[in-house]
A = this chain, B = another copy of it.
Amino acid sequence: MSTLREMAERLGVSIATVSRAMNDKPGVGSETRQRVLALAQELQYQPNLAARSLVTSRTNTILFIVHQRQFTEAEDPFYPFIMLGLEEALKVDGFHVMLLTLNDAQLAAGPTALRAFQEKRADALVLAGPDISSKFILSASALGLTTLLVDNQLQLSSFTSVQPQNEEGSQSSTNHLIEVHQHRHIALLRGPGGWASSDERAAGYLAAMGGANLDPILVEVDDTTIESGKDAAKQALEHHPQVTAFVTANDAMAIGAMRAARGMGRRTPEDIAVIGFDDISWASYADPPLTTVRIPTIEMGRLAGRLLLELLNGAVSVKSRVRVATQPIIRQSCGCNGHIEEKK
């Protein structure tokens, strides 16, 4: 592996000059620069990043932190996509992504787990997922690293964050049911209160119902799985038999709801229309194919990456809360015939 010194000797110039040439810094004659670059090319020179880090205090590495269970969550692997997008965006500037998963105990213990990263290990932190507590976020950022939140946000403090437009998404899907399919009795099968995404999606539904002067019907369950979707659908159908459509907190619940409804003799979409949220991979294979709201996960990751790069370059210093537009995916569970299938 060649070094700056080696190149300097072969070229008969100083190490400093080679360094300047390699880093596109001013103060090198264009002819000299040419020769340096040519030799670097020939030698396949790669800078030793440890040495560079030692003097610059920058590592070109960012740490992606996520709850262990969430990372590969059974019914909806969301964060690997975020990480993929992040890595894509970061690598164009020569940055790398490290994965750090935290279990419940580590999350509770606070930033002890991060201590090892204080010292020259990462330039920034991406904290992903709603189940990272405010306390943890605050103490992590106190480490002095640039911090960005994905799918999480703190009300009080201001961090740069990237989140989906939950409210707009469910408002538009509710409107689709109202305007295109003329439903009047639409129930929201929602997840637990207190979780930002559940609350925001509920707000979108309420806005749409209010806008159309319809009475909202809310059914809240304490989880957002297929099973809880079944429960919610049963409750809704028993207490509100007039309901003809469901808006659900996510796709897993939508699938559960369709199954429960079918078990009660109600077919989708003829008797009960259903619209989910997320567009997980199996949504298009559901029976019938699920109409839903797509969260552009990879794109969210890319955006987070680009934001981080700007923050790190000092190009921007404002903390911004970015909302990424969701996309309606019209399939058949809403009553459409599915000809307006999405283009991937």
Q: Are B48 and A50 in contact (CB under 8 A)?
A: no
Q: Which of A226, A255, A285 has the most CB of B within 10 A?
A: A285
Q: Which of B80, B88, B116 makes the CB contact (< 8 A) with A80?
A: B80
A10 within 8 A of B: no
A193 within 8 A of B: no
A75 within 8 A of B: yes
A213 within 8 A of B: no
Q: Mark A30-56, 1 if CB is under 8 A from B, else 0.
A: 000000000000001011111101100
A84 within 8 A of B: yes
Q: Are B75 and A281 in contact (CB under 8 A)?
A: yes
Q: Mark A281-300, 1 if CB is under 8 A from B, else 0.
A: 11001010000000000100
Cα-based distance from A74 to B282 in the complex (angstroms)? 8
Q: Are B80 and A101 in contact (CB under 8 A)?
A: no
Q: Which of B61, B94, B97, B119 makes the CB contact (< 8 A) with A116?
A: B94
Cα-based distance from A281 to B77 in the complex (angstroms)? 10
In the complex, chain B residues whose CB is within 8 Å of the CB of A234: none
Q: Are A77 and B72 in contact (CB under 8 A)?
A: yes
Q: Are B255 and A285 in contact (CB under 8 A)?
A: yes
Q: Which of B44, B54, B71, B285 makes the CB contact (< 8 A) with A51?
A: B54
Q: Are A54 and B50 in contact (CB under 8 A)?
A: yes
Q: Specify how many copies of this chain sit in the oligomer.
A: 2
A108 within 8 A of B: no
Q: Which of A66-102 contact B (CB under 8 A)?
A: 68, 71-72, 74-75, 77, 80-81, 83-84, 87-88, 91, 94, 96-101
Q: Are A46 and B84 in contact (CB under 8 A)?
A: no
A118 within 8 A of B: yes
Q: Which of B47, B94, B97, B120 makes the CB contact (< 8 A) with A49?
A: B120
In the complex, chain B residues whose CB is within 8 Å of the CB of A97: 98-99
A343 within 8 A of B: no
A105 within 8 A of B: no
Q: Are A49 and B282 in contact (CB under 8 A)?
A: no
In the complex, chain B residues whose CB is within 8 Å of the CB of A119: 1, 46-49
In the complex, chain B residues whose CB is within 8 Å of the CB of A285: 226, 255
Cβ contacts A to B, 21 pairs, < 8 Å: A1-B118, A44-B115, A46-B116, A48-B54, A50-B51, A51-B120, A54-B54, A68-B88, A72-B77, A72-B80, A72-B81, A74-B281, A77-B80, A80-B80, A96-B99, A96-B121, A98-B98, A98-B99, A99-B99, A255-B285, A287-B287
A residues whose Cβ falls under 8 Å from a Cβ of B: 1, 44, 46-51, 53-54, 59, 61, 68, 71-72, 74-75, 77, 80-81, 83-84, 87-88, 91, 94, 96-101, 115-116, 118-121, 226, 255, 281-282, 285, 287, 298
